[in-house]
Amino acid sequence: NTSVTGPFSTAIEAYWASKALARVATKEFVNHARPKFDFVNLLPSVVIGPDDRLDADPTATADSLLQGTRAAVLAPALTSSLNSSFPYVGTPVHVADVARAHVDAVDDGLVPGNSEYILSSDTPNGVVWDRDVQDVCRKFFSKEVANKMLPLGGSLTAIKWRLSAQQTEETFRWRFTGFEETARQLLSQYLQLKDRSLK
């Protein structure tokens, strides 16, 4: 989006605009300044996954995990109190894959400079948050669904958005972690933290 102007009615609209404007500004800078370095623009979709910092924090609780995007994505597994006030595009990417891409992008023998890459799993069709989160719960955590530790009571509306990450996977020479595994890891960490707080 190259014509993003305010004022913005919500903080999230301003956040989305900032991403688009940063992308435009980067291209303008390179075209005008002609720097002696290359840039690689990484375009992550909805970044989710476990927070490894919480594993080493003895004071961390399940609520520590339920912040921002993670809370909204886990709403379909948990409760409507976590529902987002706006829909999310159904385009997830594992946080570890985003980190790995940032490290690999520095290798100019692997990743060409002055380029940009979409970081997203489950392309081209994406996910439907409600259905797919609850499917992961039923597949991997049936006991927790049965005992209502995962009550499946919330919702996150998905905006369908087709993406292709084929160029990214070919260039970086690895495949993105699928949503099922990403959600399994996130839910597993939630349950571990919940169990810790019950002891």
Give the percent of the chain with pLDDT over 90: 81
- How does the average pLDDT of the chain come out, rounded? 93
- 92: three-class secondary structure by DSSP: strand
Tokens of 177: 């972690």
Asked whether residue 3 carries a pLDDT value surpassing 90, the answer given is no
pLDDT tens across 70-114, in order? 999 999 999 999 999 989 999 999 999 999 999 999 998 999 999
Q: Interior CA angle at 22 toward 11 and 74, to 5°?
A: 45
